[in-house]
Structure 1
């Protein structure tokens, strides 16, 4: 583990909190994998869209997927540290970033559908 971080949950902390945090982390990882799969899929199939547009959308999806995975780990670590310290769980900062990235991709896809 990282230096200075708690490797186990203290005895006086209900382990269900840590397990819930882990489930949330895994949900974010599944989301990241879904975004990466979508990026690969739109490049692999023959879409009636200009190739540069397909590549930009695939790139945005892949970047969002990679970013979501990194943000998931950072959030998991912050929450684990808060649980171990008995502190309040920090507010999420990454949800808006991922939502905006997905909305941008959705907007680009809608434009391509209407134009193609």
Structure 2
């Protein structure tokens, strides 16, 4: 059921600001993924081989792009849910970030040890 604009209520500004802070935190995480990915491509040279750095870089930059898009979508959905008085939806962005960063870290550690 879609509520009209008159039926929707503006949420408490503290919740709106908290939603915004969460969105900005995801954007900072995205920027970190971009920086880490570009650094890996530029500087990671494991025993003369450049492909591990490129793979790690591509994965990190792709994770940053997905996080940026997911963060914007999450911000929109949360704001809409707050205005409708509905429950906030569950997100899988933190799980995706944690899994990706853990796997990339383990791969980087493995290549560093085998070097």
The answer to whether the superposition gives a TM-score over 0.5 is yes
Residue in structure 1 matched with residue 23 of structure 2 by the alignment: 25
Q: For residues 93 and 48 of structure 1, do their structure 2 counterparts lie closer, same or farther at Cα, with a shift above 3 Å needed?
A: closer
C-alpha separation between the residues in 2 aligned to 1:95 and 1:16? Answer: 22
Q: What is the CA RMSD across the aligned residues, in angstroms?
A: 1.9
Query: Which whole-Å deviations, capped at 9, do the CAs of 1:22-59 have from their partners, x for residues lacking one?
Result: 10000000000011011111222253342111100000
Q: For residues 79 and 103 of structure 1, do their structure 2 counterparts lie closer, same or farther at Cα, with a shift above 3 Å needed?
A: same
1:79, distance to aligned residue in structure 2 (A): 0.6
Residue in structure 2 matched with residue 48 of structure 1 by the alignment: 46
1:85, distance to aligned residue in structure 2 (A): 0.4
Q: How does 1:1-116 map to 2 (within 5 A)?
A: 10-11=9-10, 13-45=11-43, 47-49=45-47, 50-116=49-115
Q: For residues 102 and 47 of structure 1, do their structure 2 counterparts lie closer, same or farther at Cα, with a shift above 3 Å needed?
A: same
C-alpha separation between the residues in 2 aligned to 1:77 and 1:34? Answer: 22
- Tell me, which stretches of 5 or more residues in structure 1 are unaligned? 1-5
